[in-house]
Amino acid sequence: MTNPFDLTGKVAVVTGANTGIGQAIAVALAAAGADVACVGRTPAEDTAQQIRALGRRAEIISADLSTIEPVQRVVDEAVDKLGGLDILINNAGIIRRADAVDFTEDDWDAVIDTNLKSVFFLCQAAGRHMIAKGSGKIVNIASMLTFQGGIRVPSYTASKSGIGGLTKLLANEWAGKGINVNAIAPGYIATNNTAALQADETRNRSILERIPAGKWGDPSDLGGAAVFLCSRAADYVQGHILAVDGGWLAR
């Protein structure tokens, strides 16, 4: 029997592939056999090096996804350099923190543009390519705040709630066209985006007290979930938001 998790011959685009969750997912996909286009505002040299060390091809695509200007180019470059596009991981994202009464329009727009607007239009560009060939896997990176409200991150919460709805909408439209659209909702993962929470002794303690696993997650904890959702093993999984959270939502 062939391995249902084998991604040999597949081409993946991973945004925000420089560090953290994006890097971990890109490397996990490569370990499963995929070639990877690593997209980031700064060149993802370290990620590409790790992928090549696994014997897979890696291409670096520089793109600032704070606007949709580079979206079509990202897809075109991946197809041109790696010969196709089978998998899209929408991981690039930013966060801004302030009390709701003090939150600025600039901070609202910056987060929504990167975390939601660019995600949709990248799904659209990749989706057109995938629909034309009749197959593809799209995985959006959601959040615990897809399910909960959080505090002091209104635009981030709105964007990640939007990711949940968008994932289901696209699954509804594209499942019959051979495209799987799902999402991963990371719990509290130790990355640059959560550095402020880790450094806040009170918040850090309250977070750890609620996580049944008793620890922050590592970016590598997301790799297996991504490989699953991008593989044949998930061919009948559609519009699902898979929480990888150490049990946070179970409490």
What is the set of active-site residues? 156
Here the tokens at position 172 are 């509804």
Look up tokens 């593989």; give the residue. Answer: 231
Cα–Cα dist 247/79, whole Å: 38
Beta strands in 146-196 (DSSP E): 179-186
For the chain, give the number of residues.
Answer: 251
Q: Quick check: helix, strand or coil at residue 135?
A: coil
Work out the burial of residue 199: count CB atoms within 10 Å of its CB; fewer than 13 is exposed, 13-18 middle, 19 or more buried.
Answer: exposed
- Name the helix (H) or strand (E) containing 12: strand 11-15
**Does residue 176 contact residue 250 with C-beta atoms inside 8 Å?**
no
In sequence order, what DSSP letters do the residues of 200-211 get, joined into one string?
-HHHHHHHHHH-
Beta strands in 204-247 (DSSP E): 241-244
Cα–Cα dist 232/178, whole Å: 12
- Name the helix (H) or strand (E) containing 120: helix 118-133
Here the tokens at position 107 are 């901070």
